Homo-oligomer: A and B are copies of this chain.
Amino acid sequence: MEKFIPITDLINDNNATKEPPLQSTFEKYEKKFKALADQKRLHILNLLCQQDSSCVCDLSELIDMPQSKLSYHLKILLDANLIQKETKGTWSYYTVNTKEINHLLSPELCCLFRPSNCC
């Protein structure tokens, strides 16, 4: 059989390989998707958007996860800018960064990780 050559290959000029700004775009989204690529963190996000604010010790009970483990996962979400932290005294309160989530995910999916009013 003869190799099939799509029309677009004949039309497009192959500048596809040199994309200087795309590289850093991919890095940015890699980080964000890495943060989402874990059941536990998806669960955390889902819980966070049901409370409008939760401290680590409460979340730890809710999700039944040791504190150091939870802090580790919260940090990953925080570094990806998917959640935000506010410290009051010794407590750290975390909230979903709705704006960022909306920018990243489809409306259907956002509902899973967005305050309960939506869906």
Interface size class of A (residues with CB under 8 A): 35 or more
Assembled-state Cα–Cα distance A88/B104 (Å): 35
Residues of chain B within 8 A (CB-CB) of A3 are 55, 89, 91
Do most interface residues of chain A lie in helix, strand or loop, or is the interface mixed?
helix
Residues of chain B within 8 A (CB-CB) of A106 are 102-107
Assembled-state Cα–Cα distance A91/B6 (Å): 13
Given A37-B34, A50-B12, A105-B105: A4 in contact with B91 (beta carbons within 8 A): yes
Given A9-B51, A16-B47, A89-B1: A29 in contact with B36 (beta carbons within 8 A): yes
Assembled-state Cα–Cα distance A63/B54 (Å): 44
Assembled-state Cα–Cα distance A50/B35 (Å): 27
